[in-house]
Amino acid sequence: MDLGDQFKRLEPAMVHKVWGGTKMAALKGLPKSQDGREPLGETWEISIHGDGPSLYQNKFLSEFITPEEMPYLVKLIDTSDNLSVQVHPGDEFAKSHENSLGKTECWIILGAKEGAGIYLGMKPGVTSEEFEKAIRNGEEMNKFLTFYPVKRGDFFFVPAGTIHAIASDVFLAEVQQSSGITYRVWDWNRVDSSGNSRELHIDKAMQVIKFGDEWNNSEIFKIKNDIFKIGCTQIVSHPQFNLKQVSFKSGEEIEIETLGLNRAVGILNLEGSLSIDGEVLKPYQAAVQNLKAKKKILVQGQEAGSFLLVE
């Protein structure tokens, strides 16, 4: 099938999680409680991944776009509780152990309660030996991680091999490699209604976690603040995704030149209303164009706002 060369609005895959919040259900016009399921934790807005492909005209986006054309995935995440302390493997380990891409990701903070934040990277001087010993002894593992309070407009890059956990009361957009490989290290001693804990993946995690201060610092994490600035701003570039932030005024037309990477270009609108190729995107709606050649994109801001562009 051919998606064509115009932007097409997508419907997201809904992913329910024990730590999910209520914000996205409200944004999507869904009931807070859905047939006794866990809260809505993630919406996979631009995805061809088998665990949560987004939809175009009630068909999976993966029917129109190949993995080579879309090696990235774009999510919204809303937390009412802490996510597990976890790590993702790099490409080489993921290919040999999981037959998958690795998972480097980045976060754009869209909102957070006062004092809320993220755990990202090891504190200075933490060794693999003391970390693994603490895991095996059932200790609280967040004590080894650096905590960053967050606010709207903050940006964090999370390379594969970085230990991390998104804490409670945070709303963010995540752009990542198209991979679902996660190794849980610790889950805050949570149990389900039957008293069971979620599976941990300690052995594999210990093989991929990057210890050492050279891998756990603000430069590696490319931390930025107040990224929502008028105009088009390059945020980060990775072999599988290039991310720009675009903020616009009401009635403004913005022309964006793509990189000509022969892969799909995705837009996730965050605020205001915009029009592109006849598609109107309201806040937290996404669209994709399966570009085959370098060309320019013309976006018209109907109301002042901002969006993410991924290619």
Active site residues: 184
Token reading at 27: 């944004």
> Which of 281, 287, 247 is CA-nearest to residue 264?
287
Distance CA 227, CA 57 (A): 33
Distance CA 76, CA 70 (A): 18
Q: Name the 3-class secondary structure at 302.
A: strand
Q: List Cβ neighbours of 259 (8 Å cut-off, separation of 6 or more).
A: 242, 294, 311
Residue 44's φ and ψ, nearest 5 degrees, are -90, 95
How many alpha carbons lie under 13 Å from residue 78 in its C-beta half-sphere? Answer: 21
Distances (CA, A) of 146 to 19, 42, 124, 183, 186: 21, 24, 9, 19, 15
253, with CB counted inside 10 A (0-12, 13-18, 19+), is: exposed
Token reading at 163: 């230990």
215, with CB counted inside 10 A (0-12, 13-18, 19+), is: middle
